[in-house]
Structures are given as structure tokens and as C-alpha cells.
A and B are shown apart, each in its own frame.
Chain A
């Protein structure tokens, strides 16, 4: 089966611009998660979708971040406007049901200059 796919793999944008990250989970996986790793820190949870609904968005840093999951399929994470501290690697993961292991994508490396 195809794995979790993330686009783009790298993005360099200027402070104040908008960037949209996309994640295509494994087909049939209802649970989709976003995580990110900023420099020198551990990977941290951002939010969790169950199908198209946000189950938990307690990890979203502020209202500059907006996540959507259209029709319960792919998901987008928009950062608007981007700030320097948003730089890091954004990971997406999916899981068919609770208790099952996660499958992660390769991540999107975001650099804000």
C-alpha cells in the first residue's frame, strides 16, 4: 500500500508569507495527525483529525495555523502569516484506528527567512 505522502518536501518562504502543507494519508485511515519538530526540540503534537472532524487541536501554537481535512481524505496545514519561529519539520501521520501504530510521512521542512 502507498504510504503517507507529504507535499512539498521543502519550502523556503519569507516572513509574513503564507504556506500550505499537504498530507495524503494511507487510504482508509480515519485518523490523521500533524506533528512538528523545531530546531533542538522534540517532535510535538499539533492536532488530530478523525475523518473530517478535528478531534484534538490542543497542540496548535496559535491562530496563524489552520488545518483542514477535506472530505476526510487529504489534509492541509496553512500557516498565515509565517514567522521565523515556525521553521521546522512538519510531519503527518495516519492510523486506521486507535491503538494501532502510526505511519509517518517523510515530513515537510519549512524554513522561514
Chain B
């Protein structure tokens, strides 16, 4: 059974710092991995999608890596801003469904 774990559960950092969010999954037989952002009371916004054959994806200040063999992914946020405050969710796709982690609540201190 696929399980997705995100560490840490919550994180507070001063504005301007670089930070890393971690995601691990138990079954390496995944189709792809997707990082989402959720703002309070809002839906899920897709940030980055990494196919199983890829090692990383970048979008602006965000960089996500995937090590399928070890069951790990990281989301790197450079030069954090208060607007980055949100919950970040990691999800792996297996078959026709995706399995989510519980998320990391990120708070960027102005």
C-alpha cells in the first residue's frame, strides 16, 4: 500500500531564506509526482509535475526533484516571500488515482 509522508508538518522561516520541503513514498512504482499548493479556504494549485522518467522540474523560484528508487522528492523554494505561505502537498500517481501526503504548512515571516 502506497503511503506518502511529508516532513516537516509545519515550518516557519524568515522572509528571504531558501527552504526545502521533503516528501517520501513507500512504493517506487509511481507514474508521476506532483507538488500542489493550497491556500486557506482555496483549492489545490498545481506547482510542478515530475514524470517518473524525470529527475527534476523547475518553475521560477521553485525546483522539485525526484529520486524514484529511494522514494523521495524535495521541493526547493528560493528566496522565500510572505506570499509563499500556504500548505504544500506532495502527491504520487499510481494507476488512475493519486495518493496525497498530509502536507507541510509553511509560514514565511515578514
CB of B70 to closest CB in A, whole Å: 21
CB neighbours (8 Å) of A105 from chain B are: 43
Annotate B76-107 by CB proximity to A: 1 below 8 A, 0 otherwise: 00000000000001010001111111110000
Is the beta-carbon distance between A59 and B97 smaller than 8 angstroms?
yes
- Summed over the interface, the residue pairs from A and B with CB atoms below 8 Å come to a total of 53
The minimal Cβ–Cβ distance linking A10 to chain B, given in whole angstroms, is: 9
| Contact present for A55 and B96 (CB under 8 Å) | yes
Quick check: B96 and A42 within 8 Å, CB to CB?
A: no
Interface residues of A in 65-111 (CB under 8 A from B): 91, 93, 98-99, 101-107, 109
Determine how close the nearest CB of chain A comes to the CB of B73; give it in whole angstroms. 15
Which residue numbers of A lie inside 8 Å of B, CB to CB?
A: 4, 6, 31, 33, 35, 41-45, 48, 55-56, 59, 91, 93, 98-99, 101-107, 109
Q: Are A42 and B101 in contact (CB under 8 A)?
A: yes
Measured between beta carbons, the chain A residues less than 8 angstroms from B96 are: 31, 48, 55-56, 98
Interface size class of B (residues with CB under 8 A): 20 to 34
Q: Which residues of chain B have C-beta atoms less than 8 A from A33's C-beta?
A: 97
How far apart sit A42 and B96, CA to CA, in the bound complex (Å)? Answer: 18
Query: In the complex, are the beta carbons of B100 and A42 less than 8 A apart?
Result: yes
The smallest beta-carbon distance between A56 and chain B, in angstroms, is: 6
B32 within 8 Å of A (CB atoms): yes
